[in-house]
Amino acid sequence: MVEAKRPRLCVLGSGKGSNYLAINEAIETGVLHAEIVLVLSDVQNSGILQHAQRLGHKALYLYPGPKRTVLDKAQELQYVDVIKQSAADLVILAGFMRVLKSGFLREFPNRVLNIHPSLLPNFRGLRAWEQALKAGVNETGCTVHVVTEELDAGPIVLQATVPVLPDDTAESLHARIQKQEHNIYPKAIEMYWKQLNQAAEPNRCD
């Protein structure tokens, strides 16, 4: 049996880049068999871009447009074009704080993954750990899922549970969830790529 090729990853992020760092570490230690070919951010001088530059990955800021939560149509086309030029196989959202619309997703069908800080389908949307605390649940967690047009509703790839402790604050709970995110995201990428290869010969995003 011919070994499947390593996927080329384009990582999109808006913040500190902790999940990007976890993915890169998993690649360096052999947990994840992949290659990061591009890091994109909608925030100038974001932590993720600074980390990518330090680690020697191609790192670009792309203007997202004036809207706070989505990419403008022209900017969406620019993001798509740059990703296609990178010949990425998978688009990995690592704290990318904009909703990707159908125009973007059609260009990379079933090739965009996201990690969400709850056990989906519970607590979709922003600041899910605060939603969990307010709801008074005993456990929450994180979910890697395929991105679809419906927010936080795509097929689930992998989940991890995190207990909600009696003395938890939003900050302490979020920190424990992030530790699990860093653990499962690389594993989920590896798992999902194998699933794609088992289903059919993969086609690159180019």
Secondary structure of 29-45 in HEC code, one letter for each residue: CCCCCCEEEEEEECCCC
Identify whether 105 is part of a domain. yes
* 161 closest CA partner among 187, 142, 144: 142
Provide the 8-state DSSP code for 6: P
How many angstroms from the chain centroid is the CA of residue 113? 5
**Is the dihedral angle over the CA atoms 174, 175, 176, 180 positive or is it negative?**
positive
What per-residue confidence (pLDDT) applies to 199? Answer: 82
Identify whether 17 is part of a domain. yes
Q: For residue 4, is pLDDT > 70?
A: no
How high does pLDDT run on average in the chain?
94
Domain count for the chain: 1
The per-residue pLDDT for range 106-139, each reduced to its tens digit, is 999 999 999 999 999 999 999 999 999 999 999 9
Length of the chain as a residue count? 206
What per-residue confidence (pLDDT) applies to 2? Answer: 43
Identify whether 163 is part of a domain. yes
Identify whether 204 is part of a domain. no
Give the structural domain span for 44. Answer: 8-199
What per-residue confidence (pLDDT) applies to 205? Answer: 53
Q: Is 116 a catalytic residue?
A: yes
Q: Quote the CA–CA distance of 156 and 115 in Å, as a whole number.
A: 10
The per-residue pLDDT for range 36-75, each reduced to its tens digit, is 999 999 999 999 999 999 999 999 999 999 998 999 899 9
Half-sphere exposure of 151 (CA within 13 A, CB side): 11
CB 112 within 8 A of CB 12: no
CATH number at residue 161: 3.40.50.170
pTM of the complete model: 0.93
Q: Quote the CA–CA distance of 131 and 95 in Å, as a whole number.
A: 18
Q: For residue 81, is pLDDT > 60?
A: yes
Q: Quote the CA–CA distance of 145 and 43 in Å, as a whole number.
A: 24
Identify whether 1 is part of a domain. no
How many angstroms from the chain centroid is the CA of residue 63? 19
Identify whether 2 is part of a domain. no
Candidate list 33, 51, 57, 116, residue with the active-site label: 116
Identify whether 167 is part of a domain. yes
Identify whether 3 is part of a domain. no
Question: C-alpha distances in angstroms, 158 versus 137, 143, 169?
Answer: 20, 6, 25
Query: What is the mean predicted confidence (pLDDT) over 18-22?
Result: 98
Scored b (16 or more CB within 10 A) or e, 113-132 reads bbbbbbbbeebeeeebbebb
> Which is more confidently placed, 204 or 76?
76
